[in-house]
Amino acid sequence: MNPLLLESATALAAAIRGGRVSSREVVEAHIARAREVGSLNAIVRDRFEAARREADAADVALERADDPEALPPLHGVPCTIKECFALEGMPQSSGLVARKDVIAREDATTVRRLRDAGAIPLGVTNVSELCMWMESNNRVYGRTNNPYDPSRIVGGSSGGEGAIVGAGASPFGLGSDIGGSIRMPAFFNGVYGHKPTGGLVPGSGQYPVSHGVARRYLTTGPIARRATDLWPLLKILAGPDGVDDGCEAMPLGDPGSVSMRGLRVVTIPDDGRAAPSTSLQRAQRRVEDALRAEGAIVVEARVDELAEAFQIWSSMLSAAGGPSFRELLFQGRRVNALEELARWCAGRSPHTLPALALAFGESLPALTPRLAQRARSRGEKLRATLDALIGDGVLLYPSHTRTAPKHHRPIVSRFDWVYTAVFNVMELPVTQIPLGLDDDGLPLGVQVAALRGHDHRTVAVAEWAERALGGWVPPGR
């Protein structure tokens, strides 16, 4: 693999500013890799020619600059953008056939912030239909395959981002997360992903967008092949934009101020419902042992409410209000469930089976208001319990029950994605950390969570783990 494909975005930016490599060379290397792994179907619409022009302009700007260090922090560095975010001139269907002809007229806030920081988008990446399932597959673009094993899923809904970053064809990408949509793709594809504190980063300019308190459940954040990029990217993305009323100004800490020595680390081995595989349990214990060796104070805990994570997540999300998934999926049309299912069986539905299942099943909490209220009460208790447990430390928690499943497997498995989803309604910052590969060559990993506003703590642990345990392992493709 071209050595440029192994570097962090910040290292590439430094090399460009220092004249050791041109932006055009960096962009060309990533375009070549993207074409090499085109069968993954991760980038669903490219802008390679525009990226080349922007790279040339970046090189000219460097030549004319009196002080190269005054150039933007990501000057001349390529990236990719999840298709649900508005990127001027690019499609923004969110995997919905009814939106297949929608072209963005301007950049979403976070896209604009990345471009103002000097980043050069290579294209937009695949999603699950309407961004609400853990397999990135839809009737507009088709299915995305895992770079470590094409027979496996890439996760969702930021699955295209996870796959293209994991494949080495993009240093970093922009994702969004309301139930694990940054962290699952990062986990399944062996890279880093950060779900920020609820309300830290604006979600303006993506589709669909949440309403009310759910604006803090839906978070926007980076997926990157190197942990050292997470904090610089988060600083670029964070802060109110005057549009997203769920976003607020928050003081950002400093990952460099966090020492592993004396750090309180709470580790929870499972949710009490579905235990992770042996390989994932071992990976989490490896992190625990390494932290102990660094002088961290590691304690194991059990939290009963985590066994009800699905009920808590779905009820709290439903109570937040706004258009239902069904309304968005069918664009306001009245659709009969049995008739639409028959169309799907005949191959004539414009929708995927997971999207239909969610659309026709999401009203179930409303049918049992007493149970829904109980779940929300349990959610408030869980929030208080986690706050007390974590304190000024961090929490280690499994990313999933297994490594990347085979295609179609999630539709028949249990709701194991709640391992990530529960943290969205808790509004906690969470970083997904890769931990090498298992015996089948599939990525391992663990989640690290902290209290609201303590994003720097989870990123600090990710940076430490990259140095101590190794990070992204490029696929052998």
List, by residue number, the catalytic residues. Answer: 82, 157, 181
Q: What is the 3 state secondary structure string of 110-140?
A: HHHHHHHCCCEEEEEECCCHHHCCCCCEECC
Tokens of 314: 């779905």
Angle CA 201–205–207, to nearest 5: 105
Tokens of 195: 């779900």
Distance from C-alpha of 253 to C-alpha of 260, rounded to nearest angstrom:
16
Inter-CA distances, 388 with 195, 264, 266, 303, 391, Å = 21, 12, 11, 12, 6
Inter-CA distances, 136 with 40, 112, 172, 184, Å = 11, 25, 18, 11
Tokens of 307: 């066994």
Tokens of 120: 């050069």
Strand pairing category for 78-82 and 172-177: parallel
Distance from C-alpha of 51 to C-alpha of 172, rounded to nearest angstrom:
15
Angle CA 402–406–411, to nearest 5: 85
Query: Where does 101-226 show beta strands of DSSP type E?
Result: 120-125, 137-138, 142-143, 172-177, 192-195, 219-224
Q: Which amino acid is at 377?
A: S
Question: What is the per-residue DSSP string for 392-449?
Answer: TSEEEE-S-SSSSPBTTGGGTS--TTHHHHHHHHHT--EEEEEEEE-TTS-EEEEEEE
Inter-CA distances, 118 with 25, 59, 73, 90, 121, Å = 16, 11, 7, 19, 10
* Residue found by looking up tokens 């609201």 in the block: 452
Strand pairing category for 219-224 and 192-195: antiparallel
